[in-house]
Structure 1
């Protein structure tokens, strides 16, 4: 499953997000696949709202909330929260490789409003090319093989994106709740508080 949403933010908000990302102090050290030598620019925004806020990436959490509410991701994907948010960047000469992600869904937001089509840099998801376009959100099943596409040598800019790793809401089954309830009532299971 691959879904593409265009013009997801009002233009002035998209420009604000792009400006925030341009302020990032990038680190070139991240391998998307530990067994491969390929590395790219990366920064972790946080695993929750508190971490995003503490690291001055409050805009990242707000962006996720806006997407979830605007596009009703609870109904469509059963997603209401994220495992982590991070930003990636690629330059010409970085050759990404196919990989799969942990979790249930990956969401990628392309912030560069000034990105030119001839610069490349889209994302290949399960043999489907999704071109990079500013203010575009791509949502796909995390188990699909994917990779960032190379950036053209004509591009002297960073290919930036915001990535949200998401898990579906897991609800307890009634049978599981009844099992523990009966075990506690029969004295076969004790709850300890330490």
Structure 2
């Protein structure tokens, strides 16, 4: 088990080092240029169409979300453990200058996020229940024709959700124990109950 942990640690160091930085920043810059700097040119329009209309009523239609539902869904799928835990750690280690670089990288990353959403909508489909389904595994398979990669991505995503949920629950329970002295087991049960309500509608 110890050797496995060492191997995972070494792989993680390689992946989350220079290669990942070049891939994320390089990809974001490429898409920013390719899309004509849309996130800068249309920034006021983007804010007006999202947060500016957050309390307005949607147009009626099948599968229509309210602007509030769309905004909260987008935030829920974007903000994860890295944002909740990583940002304070980055500020603690890098100082106030870290905020500037995070904002700059996030502006570049808008092109990547926009591309993901467009591809997700373009290649989505209805399942047997008549519900819309989509995401990277769908546009990898249908857009690129790489079914084995799409299957691997879907499997890896299932594994990632387990680890991500554990990290977030652990951070929450540790913080609550330190602030209010509530046992982590109690916090875990409450979180499990709340997530269950959301998952099962």
Q: Report if TM-score (shorter chain) is over 0.5.
A: no
Q: Indicate the structure with greater helix content.
A: 2
Normalising by structure 1, we get a TM-score of 0.22
Q: Indicate the structure with greater strand content.
A: 1
Normalising by structure 2, we get a TM-score of 0.22
